[in-house]
Amino acid sequence: MPTLRLDDRTLAGLKPAERTRYFDSHTPGLMLRVSAATARQDGRGRVWYFRYRYQGRQELLRLGTYPGTTLKEAREAVGAARKRLDHGENPAAEKRTPPPAPPAVYTFADFVPVFVAFQKDRGIKTWHEQENKIAKYLTPAWGDRALASLRRRDVQELLTALTQTGGRKGKGLKGGVTGVQAIVSRMFTVALNLDLIDQHPAARIIKRFLPNPGQRKLSDAELRALWAGLEAQPGAASDAMKLRLLLGQRGAETAGMLWSELDLVDGVWSLPRERTKNKTPHVIGLPPTALALLTTRRAAVDAAEPRVFPGLKLTGHDHKALAVIHGGAYEWKDLRRTVSTRLGALGYENETIDRIQNRKQYSVTAVHYNHAQYVEPIRAALTKWDDGLARILRGEPMIAKRERGRVLPMSARPGAGA
Instruction: Output the CATH code of domain 220-412.
Output: 1.10.443.10
Name the band, by pLDDT with cuts 50, 70 and 90, for residue 21. Answer: confident
Element containing residue 22 per DSSP (H, E): strand 20-24
Q: Using an 8 Å Cβ cutoff, are 220 and 398 in contact?
A: yes
Burial of 85 (0-12, 13-18, 19+ CB in 10 A): middle
Q: What is the pLDDT of residue 351?
A: 86
Q: Distance between CA atoms of 49 and 163, rounded to whole angstroms? A: 66
Predicted confidence (pLDDT) at residue 40 exceeds the cutoff of 50: no
Show Cβ contacts of residue 181 under 8 Å, excluding neighbours closer than 6 positions: 155, 159, 202, 205, 207, 208
What single-letter DSSP state applies at residue 14?
A: -
- What are the pLDDT digits (tens) for 81-130? 999 888 888 888 766 656 565 557 899 999 999 999 999 888 887 888 89
- Superfamily designation of domain 3-96: Integrase, DNA-binding domain (3.30.160.390)
Q: Distance between CA atoms of 296 and 325, rounded to whole angstroms? A: 24
Q: Distance between CA atoms of 360 and 138, rounded to whole angstroms? A: 31
Element containing residue 179 per DSSP (H, E): helix 175-193
Q: Using an 8 Å Cβ cutoff, are 67 and 118 in contact?
A: no
Q: What is the mean pLDDT of residues 58-73?
A: 87
Half-sphere exposure of 297 (CA within 13 A, CB side): 26
- What are the pLDDT digits (tens) for 225-265? 999 999 999 999 999 999 999 999 999 999 999 999 999 99
Q: Distance between CA atoms of 418 and 398, rounded to whole angstroms? A: 28
- What are the pLDDT digits (tens) for 151-207? 999 999 999 999 887 655 556 677 688 889 999 999 999 999 999 999 999 999 988
Q: Distance between CA atoms of 304 and 302, rounded to whole angstroms? A: 5
Q: What is the pTM of this model?
A: 0.56
Concatenating the DSSP letter of every residue in 108-144 gives HHHHHHHHHHHHHHTT-TTHHHHHHHIIIIIHHHHTT
Backbone angles phi, psi at 302, to 5 degrees: -55, 140
For residue 67, is the peptide bond before it cis, meaning its omega torsion is within 30 degrees of 0? yes
Same fold, 3-96 and 220-412: no
Diameter of the chain by CA atoms?
113
- What are the pLDDT digits (tens) for 307-366? 999 999 888 888 888 988 888 888 888 999 999 999 999 999 888 899 898 887 655 555
Q: Using an 8 Å Cβ cutoff, are 79 and 69 in contact?
A: no
One-letter amino acid of 141: A
What is the torsional sign of CA 252, 253, 255, 256? positive
Q: What is the pLDDT of residue 39?
A: 43
Domain ranges of the chain: 3-96, 108-193, 220-412
Burial of 56 (0-12, 13-18, 19+ CB in 10 A): exposed
Q: Distance between CA atoms of 138 and 323, rounded to whole angstroms? A: 30
Helix or strand or coil: residue 51?
Answer: strand
Q: Using an 8 Å Cβ cutoff, are 341 and 261 in contact?
A: no
Q: Distance between CA atoms of 380 and 282, rounded to whole angstroms? A: 16
Q: Distance between CA atoms of 313 and 316, rounded to whole angstroms? A: 5
Backbone angles phi, psi at 180, to 5 degrees: -65, -40
Q: For the chain, what percent of residues have pLDDT higher than 70?
A: 83
Beta strands in 258-393 (DSSP E): 262-263, 268-271, 282-285
Q: What is the pLDDT of residue 416?
A: 44
What single-letter DSSP state applies at residue 72?
A: H
